[in-house]
Structure 1
């Protein structure tokens, strides 16, 4: 269950439970209050009616002693009040066992009202004896009303005494239930809070410990157990990240090991060769000796060979102007013309404005060498290799074209994808003098950070055209060594 689901389910359920219990307590309290109000309301009505009867009798007696308008008005108000209380009391009724007593009580009040009205009427007519006679009867009736009212109160109390006990018991039960509900609600809140917080904090703490362990170099830290919430997904993503990191480290370790082996082999190969400085000095001496012997062509050839080897043995990590690459290609062509003579025609179409563009060292010569070895090497005559350089505002195009044997689609795809050419696809087995074309393409891709710099057009028997698109005004940021052979 996700953290969101836990929050959306358990917290509303807890609140709903508390609201239901609170509503139940409120309803129980309302029933108790209504019962209490009913009982106390009847008792108070009895008391008020009895007091109103006595007050009305006093108001009539005051009028008899001092007949005046204000005393007459006070007596009338007392009678009106008593009449209203009588109507209210009779409408409210009494407990079932006291229904007949309430009827008699009501008749007494009506009798009292009648006697008091007769007393007031006799007093207004000047008949003092009749007025006092009615007053005495009213006084006796008030005493009966007082006694009957007290009896009704006692009867109500006797009738509702069990109800009072139930109310007291219900109040005690509600108090205990309130305490229990408070304790239960607090406990449930704490349990839910601890459960939800632990479901969040425990995996997060485990992830933090794992991250600290990874920061110390441990790529196999203990991870929290699986679950189905967001933190479990985060833990799974962290696990996949660690797996990818370990895989990347293993790849980097393999690459570093391969580079170390390659550099070791290169060093061993250089150590097994003639010292370059000794070789340059020897070639220069041979060139001077050829000039002394008036063999100028041989001297030029030796100089070309010396320049070619010096350029090939330079640091391949640096970039050079395209003009330097062109001069190196010309030295190579001069050497190859000595070997092939009229079998090969070299064509150059160079835009001088484009020769200041900087390219990785040894970019063009390996491709022309590949054209010699794998393109026209088998041709006895009519071979043509052309090199064209065109400048543009954003791209400098270098086009190397031959009319040789061409290549199959598998070979073309392997060169562009930097994969190994199947041995069955390669008919000409020859060794190049430097970098391979696949390595040149890979270096360009890494240096410029693009994969659209090389275009190859070729068909078996119809020659090959290689186009290099060099970005203008952008120097590569990567330094890439070369170890490939084709």
Structure 2
């Protein structure tokens, strides 16, 4: 039996049992209450009729004394209240032992009302004190009503006394049964709750322990064996299958990472072996000195910048550098580009020296500058501006590279920022005009891995309105802090 079906059977059964006991106790109390209310209603009615007859006599006596309209109105109101009580009395059912008394009480009340009317009628006679005999009869009838009311109340109490004793005994028995059923129900509920919780929590605890061992790197642990054919056995089997799939995936990922590492090492080795650094540097130095001797100072400076640029580009890519070195390298790169574009471009810098001590991966700024040249301002005939801004804040250093070139669409901007889709170490196709072969995706990914932080890059751009690439470097990248070198494989 699965857990769902078991809960659907046990919980409704417990609820039905509890509700049945509660209903029987409630019904017993309700019967007692109804009987008590019926008796109390009749007793109160008898008492009210007795009091109202006396009030009526008093009201008619006042009227006989002063014969005023207000006294007459007051008497009529009292008479109407007495008639309402008479109507209520006619609807009451008497108990067996008080049937004759009830009929007599009704006749007495009717007689009293008739006698009151006779008193009023006698006032129309010219004879003095013609109403005296009728008033005396009414007083006598009122006394009979009082005696009969007390007798009816005594009969009611005498009749219901044994009945109430019987009900109280039954109620006491029902209360004992209710307590016994409640105790038994509580014991069964506790036992069932413990049994159900044990069937639920024990497999969960075993699965939790297995998951903790797997999270610690122990992939050889096996999931618990659950004999019961319920949801937990299915979960345990699925857990084991997931563990096997995870092991296969890890093995494949290890093979892929090792292959990518070897390919990347080979690419870097091929890239660095394409040019003999010593021969190239010596040749550029000779060209620089020769140009200086011939009076071509601009050519000499350009050759020196080219030498520095190549020397910087041939550094190991897995070693960090300070942002200050990257800025100097960017200036060398721009000097070469300005020799190419001349007055068509202008390079502006706004640098806070306090922010240049942070560590960054090598070749961080140059690929972004190259991207701006190739896609932003290369087609501009004049007025092109590239600006490098570095500002320092307590929590971060903000690097912004902006241009006033062609800009880019939202789709292109999102594509550049979606560097997570490129696997680390995957080969990128160099964009036209790039001298490093490292695209912006590579730069953004290396920054993320270097600082172990996402959302460091922002790009603000729109078609025809230029582009600004913003890099937010956390304060933990300070040179005095311990920052391990990045693995760019």
Normalised by the length of structure 2, the TM-score is 0.51
- Partners of 1:401 and 1:4 lie apart in 2 by 63
8 A contact 2:370–2:433 mirrored in 1: no
Correspondence 1:358 to 2:359? yes
The equivalent of 2:384 in structure 1 is 383
| Cα deviation, residue 286, structure 1 | 1.4
How far, CA to CA, are the matches of 1:268 and 1:478 in structure 2? Answer: 22
- Secondary structure of the 2:407 match is coil
Query: Equivalent residue for 1:314?
Result: 315
- The reply to whether residue 291 of structure 1 matches residue 292 of structure 2 is yes
Structure 1 segment 48-197 matched on structure 2, within 5 A: none
Preserved contact between residue 355 and residue 392 of structure 2 (Cα < 8 Å): yes
Q: How does 1:381-460 map to 2 (within 5 A)?
A: 381-418=382-419, 419=421, 430-434=432-436, 435-460=438-463
CA change 1:216–1:461 in 2 (3 A) is closer
Q: CA RMSD in A?
A: 3.9
Return the index of the structure with the highest Cα Rg.
Answer: 1
Structure 1 CA distance for aligned equivalents of residues 366 and 235 of structure 2: 54
Q: Is the 8 A contact 1:446 1:478 kept in 2?
A: no
1:258 has 2:260 as partner:
yes
SS of alignment partner, residue 356 of structure 1: coil
**Which residue of the other structure, out of 267, 270, 288, is the alignment partner of 2:269?**
267
Closer/same/farther in 2, CA of residues 226 and 470 from structure 1, 3 Å limit: farther
Q: Deviations over 1:310-340 (max 9, x none)?
A: 1111011121111111110110011111100
Q: Deviations over 1:164-188 (max 9, x none)?
A: xxxxxxxxxxxxxxxxxxxxxxxxx
Paired residue for 1:277? 278
Identify the residue that residue 241 of structure 2 maps to in structure 1.
239
Q: 5+ unaligned residues in a row in structure 2: which ranges?
A: 10-197, 423-429
Measured after TM superposition, the shift of residue 229 of structure 1 is 5.3
Superimposed CA distance per residue, residues 188-228 of structure 1 (whole angstroms, 9 cap, x where no aligned partner):
xxxxxxxx9xxx99xx9xx99xx99xx9998999x999942
Change (3 A) 1:444 1:225: farther
What's the secondary structure of 1:473's corresponding residue?
Answer: helix
Deviation at 1:454, TM superposition (A): 0.6
Q: Which residue of 2 aligns with 1:303?
A: 304
Helix, strand or coil for the counterpart of 1:359? strand
Q: Does 1:373 align with 2:374?
A: yes
Q: CA deviation at 1:474?
A: 3.4
Question: Which residue does the alignment assign to 1:479?
Answer: 486
Comparing 356-365 with 249-258, which one deviates more in the overlay?
249-258
TM-score (norm. length: structure 1):
0.51
Moved more, 319-328 or 290-299: 290-299
Structure 1 residue 438 displacement after superposition: 1.3
**Residue deviations 1:95-140 (CA, integer Å, cap 9, x gap):** xxxxxxxxxxxxxxxxxxxxxxxxxxxxxxxxxxxxxxxxxxxxxx
CA distance in 2, matches of 1:474, 1:235: 47
SS at match of 2:385: strand
Unaligned runs of 5+ in 1: 10-195, 421-427
- Give the secondary structure class of the aligned counterpart of 2:476: coil
Q: Secondary structure at the match of 2:393?
A: coil
Shift of 1:445: 1.2
